[in-house]
């Protein structure tokens, strides 16, 4: 059984999300939303009237070299 943690901090149109996987951030409103995951992937989401929802992942997973 795994454990989960998530804390969101809203600052105007920005949201900072803290989880056990890392820090992510998002920007937008109910119709248009752009978010970045802790591993660097970007998601674009658009909701149109009538229940149409389009979502797209931009770019791939970024690799971290240490």
- pLDDT per residue as tens digits for the range 14-52: 999 998 889 999 999 889 999 998 888 999 999 999 999
For residue 21, tell me if it sits in a domain. Answer: yes
> What's residue 47's pLDDT?
92
Q: Provide the whole-model pTM.
A: 0.64
Burial class (CB within 10 angstroms; exposed 0-12, middle 13-18, buried 19+) of 28: middle
| Residue 34 and residue 24 in contact, taking contact as beta carbons nearer than 8 Å | no
For residue 64, tell me if it sits in a domain. Answer: no
The domain tally of the chain equals 1
For residue 65, tell me if it sits in a domain. Answer: no
For residue 44, tell me if it sits in a domain. Answer: yes
Q: Tell me the pLDDT band of 10, cut-offs 50, 70 and 90.
A: very high
For residue 34, tell me if it sits in a domain. Answer: yes
For residue 35, tell me if it sits in a domain. Answer: yes
For residue 43, tell me if it sits in a domain. Answer: yes
Residue range of the domain that includes 45? 6-58
């Amino acid at each position: 059984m795994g454990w989960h943690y998530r804390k969101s901090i809203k600052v105007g149109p920005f949201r900072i999300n803290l989880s056990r996987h890392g820090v992510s951030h998002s920007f937008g409103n109910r119709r248009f939303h752009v978010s970045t995951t802790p591993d660097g992937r970007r998601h674009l989401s658009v909701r149109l009237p009538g229940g149409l929802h389009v979502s797209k992942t931009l770019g791939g997973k970024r690799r971290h070299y240490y």
